Structure 1
Amino acid sequence: MEETKTFFLNGEEYFSDKIINLLDIVSYFNYNSSLLVLEYNNFICPKKEWDNIFIDNKDNIEIVTIVGGG
């Protein structure tokens, strides 16, 4: 049985008892991955690493979406 982990996404607290990675989070919340920047524990995380970084207890994730305009 997996331990429940607490993590923070854009300042909101979430809980998971599954093993999840950053790509899982982006997909679950239906973000358009081509239009965002992901910060993981205060470091900008390249897209090619998202499926290799697994969420641990007390991790902090910030997702910033890019919006065009004029």
Structure 2
Amino acid sequence: MNYTVNEEPRSADKAPSVAEVVAAETGREVSENEGAKGVAVAVNRSVVPASDWGRALEDGDAVDILIAVQGG
């Protein structure tokens, strides 16, 4: 299956969950029920609440991962 993360192409043998993608891309500890601190995710331009991160991606999905940073 093929999908994108922040407009970069990715592929996988089986559909990863949103949580698996976030963990792989950010290196942060992720809970499929609580998400990851400071991380927001959208799939196909729709925000995915952390409680729904256990859902599997579908072929062609576009994932956007945003990480909050502190400072000015």
The TM-score, its normalising length taken from structure 2, stands at 0.81
**1:28 to 2:24 alignment:** yes
Cα RMSD, aligned residues only: 1.3
Q: Which runs of 5+ in 2 are unaligned?
A: 30-35
**1:46 to 2:49 alignment:** yes
- Please, which of 59, 68, 71 is the counterpart of residue 69 of structure 1? 71
1 or 2, which has the higher helix percentage? 1
| Alignment: residue pair count | 65
Q: Which runs of 5+ in 1 are unaligned?
A: none
Could you list the structure 1 runs, at least 4 aligned residues long, displaced by more than 2 angstroms after superposition. none
The TM-score, its normalising length taken from structure 1, stands at 0.83
Larger Rg: 1
CA deviation digits over 1:37-56, x for unaligned, max 9?
101111011001001x2111
Counterpart AA for 2:23:
S
